Amino acid sequence: DSGVTQTPKHLITATGQRVTLRCSPRSGDLSVYWYQQSLDQGLQFLIQYYNGEERAKGNILERFSAQQFPDLHSELNLSSLELGDSALYFCASSVADQETQYFGPGTRLLVL
């Protein structure tokens, strides 16, 4: 158990819908990262927040957005969902700007 929690574990929805994925970092970690794992793209970095501020953006679609709240939990919002958005979404956290990221168990999203 890494100490990073993600909810829900599984999510099934339809095309065109919007979902919110939630992540709680390890106690004391200020930085949160979101990754997408799919069969065709592998593990891809989406976005990173540090203490409430966006720090880096990766291959994140405009239909996706994220935020980090004052209590440091983070949410990833996915809208206008397409079949290709079906994937495993991971959250990771790290202490400030240190290098080691600890991953949560992931949220498996299935878009039908």
Partner 1 sequence: AQSVTQLDSQVPVFEEAPVELRCNYSSSVSVYLFWYVQYPNQGLQLLLKYLSGSTLVKGINGFEAEFNKSQTSFHLRKPSVHISDTAEYFCAVGGTGFQKLVFGTGTRLLVSP
Closer to partner 1 by CB, 8 or 58: give it: 58
Q: Residue from 50, 68, 74, 93 that binds partner 1 (CB under 8 A)?
A: 50
| Strands 107-111 and 10-13, sheet pairing | parallel
Q: Is residue 2 a contact point for partner 1 (CB under 8 A)?
A: yes
CA distance 45 to 105: 16
Tokens encoding 80: 């206008």
Identify the residue among 7, 17, 43, 112 touching partner 1 (CB under 8 A). Answer: 43
Long-range contacts of 52-57 (CB under 8 A, 24+ apart): 55/31
33 binds partner 1 (CB under 8 A): yes
- Using the rule CB under 8 A, which residue among 42, 62, 70, 71 binds partner 1? 42
Site membership for partner 1, residue 99 (CB under 8 A): yes
For residues 9 and 91, is the Cβ–Cβ distance under 8 A?
no
Distances (CA, A) of 2 to 18, 46, 71: 28, 20, 19
- Told to check if 7 binds partner 1 by CB under 8 A, we report no
Residues at the interface with partner 1 (CB under 8 A)? 2, 31, 33, 35, 42-45, 48, 50, 55-56, 58, 90, 92, 97, 99-106
